[in-house]
Amino acid sequence: MHVKKRAKIFIVCTMILLLALIGRLAQIQLIQTESFSKHHINLIEASVKQRTQAIVLDDGRGRFIDRNGDAITNDYYPSLVLFPFLKGMDWPSDKIAAIIGVPERELIRAVEQAKTPFAFGGKYPLKLTELQKDQINALKIPGVFAVYKQVPADERLAEHLIGIVRQNYQLLKERYPEKLKNSLISPDTAIGITGLQRAFDEFLLPEGESKLLYHVDQLGGPLFGLDVKYTAPANPFYPTAIKTTLDKSLQTMVEKELDKIGLKKGGVVLLDVETSDILTLASRPKMNDKNPLAEPGGINTMILPQIPGSIFKIVTAAAAIESNLKVNSRIYDCNLNLYGEKGSERELGLLNFEESFAKSCNYTFAKLAEELMAENPDYMEQYAAKLGLIGRIGWHGDVFHFGNFKQFPEEQTGRIWGDQKDKYVKKAINQTAIGQKEVRLSPLAVANMMATIARGGEKKQVRAVSEVQYKNGTTLFSFPLQNLEGEQLSSHTIDKLQHLLREVVQSGTGVRFNTLPYTVAGKSGTAETGREGFVNKWFAAYFPVEYPKYALVVVDLDVRENEAKTYEIVEKIILNIYQSVNG
């Protein structure tokens, strides 16, 4: 009896174990073949990978190019792809070497060392011409292909503006639930987390990889002869290219100068005056490769509000001129401090309005602000808005089914007041008039203000991207130039501001730039940050004055004033631009 009972228990346990194994097998092979375990592993793909060798030609995600079509992220050009099974064959390596102009021994050595298919030339494969590509393919050599391949950019440019891409299943599920549900994208698809990668993510999503592959046996030899297959997404128009407004050569120059000079925190914005398109945007500190989202390197300081200091005097000056305060007939005692008391750190003597602006006299603009606020408590916001300083500055509008699409999703808007009650407090008015207290403006907005003044007062949205292109270079969507809403300054006020900004360089705080090959108009700013001895050091400019083409802002943030690199950077950038234009 005991033997029979034990036998029954053994049989039942065996059946349970077999049923569990069958259930597990069904789960693996029938039920969760494309999304197995919490890691969402595609078992079909994993199985194929085990018995194939492949070289990915294009991961399928769209790329970024500059205004001239030059690659910013991934380049895409004809490359020579070689398969490792060539080492066991007699193939015309001499003919290939002659076509591409390299010693034959280099080709043979590369193949002998290869365990997987590779693009000849390493991380940055040798770039072939169209003629070389056609000549190689005409030979029809098994395992030798001349094909377009995605190649990483040789340097990382505009990293804060372009943004980063990462795998994040939770975020992927939130953004694209239907695509995941219908298996249009895989659970391990990388998505844009910041910057333009985030803004244009739906345009950039891969529809699948393009690759060359062949099946191998246990020893890595060809399983089905020498048949190499090409696989690619069915849609020939993808992946897309995002055509930015950046000028790669200028971006490269600016970033090299920042690194050479050693700017620790701050950056540069360079705009095209005619369009308010970004030519260059560089933020420091750089991103941390291991943790790019970690502060401070993970922050794009150029689109975040900063304390502007005397840059804001442009707003006060514009309001005084347009409000007919008869500034031209008055003299101000610039030996007095901001509050009209003796003991100013910078005793400048008796100055008129133009001289006060050029030499950045705090007392003059604090006094003007008191008078303006007595007449209109909202003047500061109104005139900041007329100059395009507050509100969303970056391009925004409707794009297909995207309502209110934003090219700068992380952009934060500027502000003038922290507490509306301060509008009636004299000292708060004095401080606000010179860009202190609660005034915060982004370098991007300040650059756009300079472009607005330079082109005569027309306010425009700032573009970082001009169009989205299909793979063949035709246009999927074009982003039109768009004006910022709201009132503009009168032409008389703009003319006067242009004159004032030129005087800053001719006889005021920017006189250092008066000897540059381009004529420059601009305004300096030194803002107290709240840390004793530390300031934000600004210079905002446009040039050449006779036919304005560039609007430039450089800011060194939270730095000791005597260590600020601002003026040196401005000088280097303008000189380099002049030399590149004039040889």
Please list the active-site residues: 310
Which of 516, 571, 517 shows the shortest CA–CA distance to 539?
A: 571
Q: At 84, is the secondary structure helix, strand, or coil?
A: helix
Contact predicate 390/414, CB 8 Å: yes
Q: Mark out the alpha helices in 155-290 (DSSP H runs).
A: 159-162, 169-175, 177-181, 195-199, 201-204, 248-261
Q: What DSSP string runs through 264-281?
A: -SEEEEEEETTT-BEEEE
Tokens standing for 339?
Answer: 């509050």
Tokens standing for 77?
Answer: 């050009």
Burial readout 181-195 (b: 16 or more C-beta within 10 A, e: otherwise)? eeeebbbebbbbbbb
Tokens standing for 344?
Answer: 């100013």
Tokens standing for 453?
Answer: 């003044």
Q: Which amino acid is at 212?
A: L
Tokens standing for 324?
Answer: 């007919």
Burial readout 488-525 (b: 16 or more C-beta within 10 A, e: otherwise)? bbeeebbebbbebbbbbbeebbbeebeebebbbbbbbb
Place of tokens 């990915």: 56
What is the maximum span of the chain, computed from C-alpha positions, in angstroms? Answer: 121
User: In whole angstroms, what is the distance from residue 444 CA to residue 441 CA?
Assistant: 8
The pair phi, psi for residue 492, each rounded to 5°, is -60, -45
The H-or-E segment that residue 45 falls in is helix 43-50
The H-or-E segment that residue 49 falls in is helix 43-50
- E strands, 515-580, are 521-528, 534-543, 550-560
> Residue 336 forms beta bridges with which residues?
342
User: In whole angstroms, what is the distance from residue 82 CA to residue 130 CA?
Assistant: 18
Place of tokens 């390299």: 102
Q: What DSSP string runs through 291-329?
A: -TTSTTTTS-GGGS-B--GGGGHHHHHHHHHHTT--GGG
Provide the phi-psi class of 435: left if phi over 0, else alpha when psi is between -120 and 50, else beta. left
